[in-house]
Amino acid sequence: MKERTKKPIQIYIEPQQDDILAALARSRGISKAEIIRDSLELYFSQIPAEKDPAMGLVGIGNSGKKDLSERHDAYLSAYARRKPK
């Protein structure tokens, strides 16, 4: 079965919002869904880093490596090359 790359959701918007969204989609030649996705990305990009829920992940692990922040690419690359156990 083919895996979806996007997750479907259902939202309710005001009729005037839908009118504006439809007109904008027509004028840009893109779907209403694409405008909504782009709008969400813009909204998310404006969240201050300290309020980003992903920041809660910072510091929860302990690799024991003193240079992890400087060499993270090298460590990830080495991990990716390892054979699964």
Average pLDDT over the chain reads 85
Evaluate whether residue 36 is within a structural domain. yes
With cut-offs at 50, 70 and 90, classify the pLDDT of residue 22.
very high
Question: pLDDT at position 2, please?
Answer: 61
Q: Is residue 80 part of a domain?
A: no
Higher pLDDT pick, 5 / 24: 24
Domain of 42?
12-47
Q: What's residue 78's pLDDT?
A: 83
Q: Which pLDDT does position 1 carry in this prediction? A: 53
Task: Provide the domain count of the chain.
Answer: 1
In-domain check, residue 1: no
43 belongs to a structural domain? yes
pLDDT of residue 3: 66
In a domain, 72, yes or no: no
CB 75 within 8 A of CB 65: yes
Is this model's pTM higher than 0.85 or not? no
Segment 16-22 shows an average pLDDT of: 97
Indicate the angle between helix axes 15-28 and 32-45, nearest 10 degrees.
Answer: 100
Residue 68 placed within a domain? no
